[in-house]
Amino acid sequence: MITNAIVIGRSALFILLAFMWTAAMVLAGLPVLAMSRRRAQRFASVWCGGLLGLLKIVCGLGWRLEGEEHVPRGPAIIASKHQSAWDTIIFHRLLDDPVFILKRELLRIPGVGWYLRAAGNIGIDRAAGPRALRALIPDVAARLQDGAQIIVFPEGTRVAPGATQPYKPGIVGLCDRLDTPVVPVALNSGVFWGRRQLAKQPGTITIRFLPPLPAGLPRRDMARRLGEAIEAATRELCIGDGAAARGRDNAAPGPESARQTR
């Protein structure tokens, strides 16, 4: 049995190595800042792959994908549950061109912020209210036209397993104005890597892509169906597979699991 002290020690080592990896990538990737947005996205995929590899090797924390048939390969809006910093890493390994809608302060961080901007991520002024959504529309539309997948965390913040926050109306507004299908995503990352917690428990995080909701739904129906789909699947993963997955990180994937790191 792995003791808590070992988990904490491994987690601290991961943070140190992740910082070193990030610092090295920031320096090595400086030429990428002068290249195309797609080049920056490919660089980000390597960066995130390194972090996921460190998690697996150092902390024993892997992942698996369910619902691969629902992973979009062209333009789409993706509405994902958000429980952990892990959620900001994984989409670069699953999607061809993930573009995040994030608070604009992140784009101003020296180093990391340069690459967030170069990859085409879209900053939002969360204090601007409804005006913020209107300001987003041209940038989101341009990214979709370029074939990107737009990542939105509808609750607007990380939420612990078993808890919920009211869904922001922006995701429904984007779908309505841009006439774009939305793909719900559930996950149980918070079971293993909690918000503001040092410990990263060994096991297997599950991320599940759900059937897309069609464009053109009335706003109220879209909001209801989106929330119901994400929350029901997240509860299932956190209470069932999420809890049972601890210590099973080396198990072979089941028939529903399309991909798992080793």
Element (H, E) at 100: strand 98-103
Residue labelled with tokens 């919920």? 164
What radius of gyration do the chain's Cα atoms show? 18
For 167, the enclosing helix (H) or strand (E) is: none
Number of domains in the chain: 1
Q: What pLDDT, on the 0 to 100 scale, is given for residue 195?
A: 85
Q: What was the pLDDT predicted at 115?
A: 95
Within-domain flag for 260: no
> Mean pLDDT across the stretch 94-108?
93
pLDDT, residue 239, reads: 87
- Burial class for 168, CB neighbours closer than 10 Å (0-12, 13-18, 19+): middle
Query: Higher-confidence residue: 97 or 258?
Result: 97
For residue 15, the enclosing domain spans: 4-254
Band (pLDDT 50/70/90 cuts) for residue 24 is very high
Does 45 map to a domain?
A: yes
- Give the domain CATH number at 19: 3.40.1130
pLDDT in tens, 123-173: 988 776 667 777 889 999 999 999 999 999 999 889 999 888 999 888 888
From the list 98, 99, 96, 115, the residue with the least C-alpha distance to 107 is: 115
Burial 209-245 (b: 16+ CB within 10 A, else e): bbebbeeebeeeebbeebbebbeebbbebbeebbeeb
Specify the pLDDT at position 245. Answer: 45
The answer to whether residue 99 sits within a structural domain is yes
Q: Is residue 40, in this structure, part of any structural domain at all?
A: yes
In a domain, 48, yes or no: yes
In a domain, residue 243? The reply is yes
Task: Let me know if residue 262 belongs to a domain.
Answer: no
Residue-wise pLDDT for 193-246, tens only, equals 988 889 999 999 999 999 999 888 898 899 999 999 999 999 999 986 544 444
Asked whether residue 153 is domain-assigned, the answer is: yes
Would you place residue 178 in the very low, low, confident or very high pLDDT band (cuts 50, 70, 90)? confident
Rounded Cα–Cα distance for residues 132 and 124 (Å) = 6
pLDDT digits (tens, 9 = 90+) for 70-95: 999 999 999 999 999 999 999 999 99
